[in-house]
């Protein structure tokens, strides 16, 4: 077998089949002197759909960034399948916020999805026929097969989100980290994403998604992590998603949450 240079794979580890997908312990993170996360601890069991909710500025995106090593924590540690993220990254797929990239970039949907395979391809190797086929299958799975060659700026917001999901599917990960996958999407896309999450769960994969819509959180997720810089609550939806916890996180009367 020809040795292939893989980015960040030098010290890749084989993880135990029953390892906990994500464990966060005593995590504290700050932008300059401004603390964003304070002593946050929780763990995510395998095969669960986990929603991270909390008000704006609660540190949800920061949490994902720290988990993926894109930002250094001030204290605490993160374990992904019992390893450091650097060693376990090939088991992790990532869906950034749709607004984090410039969709005017000159490329098409199929090319974006193939980017999900760049980690496996490693340095210098270009995607070929096989990668193209995988990418086409992933686009089909999110109902975007007909848009493979569409310039990405010509896709609707929901379609762009589905392209990002297809790219994550191409990563064929065991743990998916998603930043606001439901933000600003149309009804069709929302249903498509929900279906996809359930399919991933049925395959035994784990999803951790930052979510902003309290009205749907209980329907879409098995477990909830409520953040507001501190960890407010975490656990199965029935236990964690209570009125008291939401009031603690969002403050005020919590009337907008509805009776739940």
Partner 1 sequence: MFEVLSAVLFDYTVRNIALGSAILGVAGGVLGCFAVLRRQSLLGDALAHATLPGICVVFMLTQTRVSLWLLLGAGLSAWLGALAILAVVRGTRIKQDAALGIVLSVFFGAGVVLLTLIQQTGAAGQSGIDRFLFGQAASLIRSDVITMGALAGAALLVVGVFYKEFKLLTFDGPFAASLGFPVRALDVLLTSLIVVAVIVGIQAVGVILMAAMLITPAAAARQWTDRLPAMILISALFGAGSGVAGALVSALGPNLPTGPLIVLIATGVFLLSLLFGASRGLLWSQLRERRNRAAALSGGGA
The footprint of partner 1 (CB under 8 A) covers 6-9, 65, 68-70, 86, 89, 92, 94, 96, 100-102, 105-108, 112, 115, 118-119, 121, 123-127, 151, 153, 167
Place of tokens 């990418």: 135
Q: Min. distance of Cβ 239 from partner 1 in angstroms? A: 31
Which of 20/151 has CB closer to partner 1?
Answer: 151
Answer for the pair 103, 135: CB distance below 8 angstroms, yes or no: no
Q: Min. distance of Cβ 136 from partner 1 in angstroms? A: 18
Q: Min. distance of Cβ 228 from partner 1 in angstroms? A: 24
**Element housing 230 (H / E):** strand 230-236
Which of 49/177 has CB closer to partner 1?
Answer: 177
Which of 2/259 has CB closer to partner 1?
Answer: 2
* C-alpha separations of 250 from 144, 174, 213, 229, 256 in Å: 36, 32, 13, 11, 10
Instruction: Tell me how far apart the alpha carbons of residues 145 and 161 are, in angstroms, rounded to a whole number.
Output: 14
Closest CA relative to residue 241, chosen from 253, 252, 259, 229: 259
Which of 92/240 has CB closer to partner 1?
Answer: 92
251 φ/ψ angles, rounded to the nearest 5 degrees: 70, -175
Report residue 196 as tokens: 């996809």
- How many Å is the maximal CA-CA distance in the chain? 63
Report residue 168 as tokens: 């994550």
Q: Min. distance of Cβ 256 from partner 1 in angstroms? A: 31
Which of 92/232 has CB closer to partner 1?
Answer: 92
Which of 170/224 has CB closer to partner 1?
Answer: 170
Q: Min. distance of Cβ 95 from partner 1 in angstroms? A: 9
Residues in the chain: 260
Which of 102/219 has CB closer to partner 1?
Answer: 102
User: H helices of 203-241, where?
Assistant: 214-220, 237-240
Instruction: Tell me how far apart the alpha carbons of residues 244 and 201 are, in angstroms, rounded to a whole number.
Output: 29
Q: Min. distance of Cβ 167 from partner 1 in angstroms? A: 8
Q: Min. distance of Cβ 197 from partner 1 in angstroms? A: 19
The total of other beta-carbon atoms located within 10 Å of residue 8's CB is 14
In DSSP terms, 31 is beta-bridged to 34
């Amino acid at each position: 077998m020809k040795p292939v240079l893989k980015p960040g794979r030098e010290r890749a580890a084989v993880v135990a089949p029953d390892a906990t997908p994500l464990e966060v312990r005593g995590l504290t993170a700050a932008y300059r002197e401004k603390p964003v996360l304070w002593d946050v601890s929780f763990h995510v069991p395998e095969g669960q759909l986990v929603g991270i909710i909390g008000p704006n500025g609660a540190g949800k995106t920061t949490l994902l960034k720290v988990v993926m090593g894109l930002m250094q924590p001030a204290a605490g540690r993160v374990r992904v399948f019992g390893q450091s993220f650097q060693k376990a990254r090939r088991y992790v797929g990532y869906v950034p916020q749709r607004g984090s990239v410039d969709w005017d970039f000159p490329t098409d949907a199929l090319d974006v999805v193939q980017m999900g395979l760049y980690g496996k391809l490693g340095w210098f190797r270009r995607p070929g026929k096989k990668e193209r086929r995988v990418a086409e299958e992933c686009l089909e799975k999110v109902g975007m097969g007909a848009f493979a060659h569409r310039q990405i700026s010509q896709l609707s917001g929901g379609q762009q989100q589905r392209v990002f999901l297809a790219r994550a599917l191409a990563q064929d990960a065991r743990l998916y980290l998603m930043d606001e996958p439901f933000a600003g999407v149309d009804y069709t896309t929302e249903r498509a994403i929900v279906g996809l999450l359930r399919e991933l769960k049925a395959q035994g994969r784990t999803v951790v998604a930052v979510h902003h819509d309290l009205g749907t959180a209980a329907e879409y997720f098995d477990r909830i992590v409520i953040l507001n810089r501190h960890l407010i609550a975490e656990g199965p939806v029935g236990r964690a998603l209570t009125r008291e916890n939401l009031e603690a996180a969002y403050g005020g009367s919590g009337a907008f949450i509805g009776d739940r």
